[in-house]
Amino acid sequence: MEGKRVVVGVAGGIAAFKVAGFVSQLAQRGADVRVIMTRSATQFVTPLTFQTLSRNHVAVDTFDEKDPSVVSHIDLADHADLFVIAPATANIIAKMAHGLADDMLTTTLLATQAPVMVAPAMNVHMYQNPVVQENMDRLRQAGYRLIEPGSGQLACGYVGQGRMEEPENLAAAVEAFFRETPDLSGKRFLVTAGPTREPIDPVRYLSNRSSGKMGYAVAEAAASKGADVLLVSGPTELSAPAGVRRVEVTTAEQMYQTVIGEMDEADVIVKTAAVADYRPVNPAESKIKKNEENMVLELEKTTDIAEVIGKRKKHQFFVGFAAETDRVAKYAQEKLSRKNMDLIVANDVSRPGAGFDGDTNIVTVWDKEGEALSLPQTSKREVARRLVALIGERLHGHR
Ligand code: PMT
């Protein structure tokens, strides 16, 4: 964990005393640990405890700006490679689930782009309360990773589920997180994203509902691990993620030309784009007038870019996506083998919370041997991080 930057958010529960051991273990393993405490947390453990264990100043008050050259909650939010909330009380979980930002911890959390682990700790009945469970579901769907509490004797006297995970297990989860995505420095990723637009006339086109969010998240996740990322993007409203080179295209043909021109340089190709399968045969040069009651538009097939990549690829690790509405596993596995992919990410786009446009997805990843990863509804950014982790893992054994 040498040099990894972990921000630990401590909320006001008795399990705060166990977090001292967790912070100590992170620091001993070489992590750069910063602690943010809520005011209630300071009733259980003093900031001095965490300052001594982490060797860093502990933040409690949003307005305690020690360094005038930065805004401290944004600085801490940007600093983190990983955020861990421990103990996560019912109160902090509710605030996070609803986007409240009324203290240093919640304000920093809203501003961070880093993955967040949440280690709940509370009374068993609070934990089972449907409102708390609903809030935790919201966090899971937003891509937060929940570390389920264990069962046993609780500090309040009850026996049941609600004990925060033990410090050594929390430290092991953090270590596993950093191991999960190897460093991708020196690897070149070619990622496609968004829809294509196929002109009918100068003012109309055929397209689809892809927003580009899934592909941009993949590009961002790969770049955050040090990869050199080229993003070939159809028309979207999104800005290019930091450190990612973007080439903008409009039609399937332009995407094809760009991808084929760049593929030899790539180590990994991820085809997230929703490329049009058909385009008008003869796009009109001037706007089509509505003279007839019915109109027939003749379409022709576009080039299947993925199929061409599958045929031409040499050393490249090739990942495709499959947007299906039925028989998802069957159709995805057929595409995997027909297009000679190494992995295919299948999303059932008929399910609420999956597929086009939204911020979340539900995916199953297949390789030639079978299922490689399955994720319940979670944010596209978290799907992208887990996918990039899987690609990183596979790259080591890939020639
Ligand atoms: O952009 P978002 O709003 O975030 O939505 C994400 C998404 C639903 C678009 C994404 O998750 C997704 O599923 N992308 C693939 C969509 C698609 O075109 O699937 P497909 O099953 O039709 O195609 C299979 C694969 O072949 C894809 O990798 C596709 O990029 C590729 N293909 C398809 C047609 C074509 N002419 N050329 C291709 O390369």
- Is 376 tagged catalytic? no
Query: At a CB cut-off of 8 Å and minimum separation 6, what does 350 contact?
Result: 325, 326
Q: Which residue has the tokens 């008929």?
A: 350
Sign of dihedral through CA atoms 348, 350, 356, 357? negative
Distance CA 229, CA 221 (A): 10
The helix (run of H) or strand (run of E) holding residue 176 is helix 167-180
Shortest-distance Cα residue to atom 26 of ligand 1 = 306
Q: In Å, what is the CA distance from 384 to each residue of 242, 249, 322?
A: 15, 22, 15
Binding-site entries: 277, 287, 321, 335, 339
Question: Which of the four CATH numbers 3.40.50.10300, 3.40.50.1450, 3.90.870.40, 3.40.50.300 does domain 188-395 have?
Answer: 3.40.50.10300
Residue 257, both tokens: 């030309």
More confident residue, 3 or 380: 380
Tell me the average pLDDT across 162-173. Answer: 94
- pLDDT-derived band at 158, boundaries 50, 70, 90: confident
pLDDT at 396 over 80: no
CA distance 8 to 37: 8
Domains 5-179 and 188-395 alike in fold: yes
Task: Give the pLDDT score at 89.
Answer: 97
Ligand 1 atom 31: residue of nearest CA: 306
> 223: which residues sit within 8 A by CB, 6+ positions away?
189, 229, 241, 242, 243, 244
Question: Quick one: pLDDT band at residue 261, thresholds 50, 70, 90?
Answer: very high
Overall average pLDDT of the 193-219 stretch: 98
Helix, strand, coil % over all residues of the chain, rounded to 5: 35, 25, 40
Under the banding of pLDDT at 50, 70 and 90, the label for residue 152 is confident
Contact 263, 207 (CB under 8 A): no
Helix (H), strand (E), coil (C) string for 294-335 = CCCCCEEECCCHHHHHHHHCCCCEEEEEEEECCCHHHHHHHH
Of 192, 233, 272, the residue with max ligand 1 atoms within 8 A of its CB, to mutate for a pocket test, comes to 272
Q: Which of 271, 341, 362 to mutate to test the pocket of ligand 1 (most atoms within 8 A of CB)?
A: 271
Cβ of 343 below 6 Å from ligand 1: no
Q: How many Å apart are CA 103 and CA 125, to the nearest integer?
A: 26
Radius of gyration of the chain (CA): 24
- For atom 20 of ligand 1, which residue has the closest CA? 322
Q: What's the CATH architecture for 5-179? A: 3-Layer(aba) Sandwich (3.40)
Instruction: Mention every residue, 6+ apart, whose C-beta is less than 8 A from residue 172.
Output: none
> pLDDT value at position 398?
63
- CB 15, CB 33: distance < 8 Å: no
Question: For residue 319, what are the CA distances in angstroms to 55, 326, 362, 373?
Answer: 43, 21, 17, 13
Q: Which residues pair with 206 in a beta bridge?
A: 198
**Mean pLDDT in residue range 204-226:** 97
Domain boundaries, the chain: 5-179, 188-395
Average pLDDT value for the chain: 95
E strands in the chain: 5-10, 32-37, 82-88, 116-120, 145-146, 150-153, 159-163, 188-193, 198-201, 204-206, 228-233, 244-248, 268-271, 278-280, 299-301, 317-324, 343-348, 360-367, 370-379
Please list the residues that pair with 322 across neighbouring strands: 346
Residue 199 half-sphere exposure toward CB, CA atoms < 13 A:
14
In this predicted structure, the answer to whether residue 325 has a pLDDT above a threshold of 60 is yes
Gap between the Cα atoms of 162 and 120, Å rounded = 7
**What tokens does 186 get?**
């020196």
Question: Looking at the predicted structure, is the pLDDT value of residue 182 above 90?
Answer: no
Q: Could you say which DSSP state residue 240 is in?
A: P
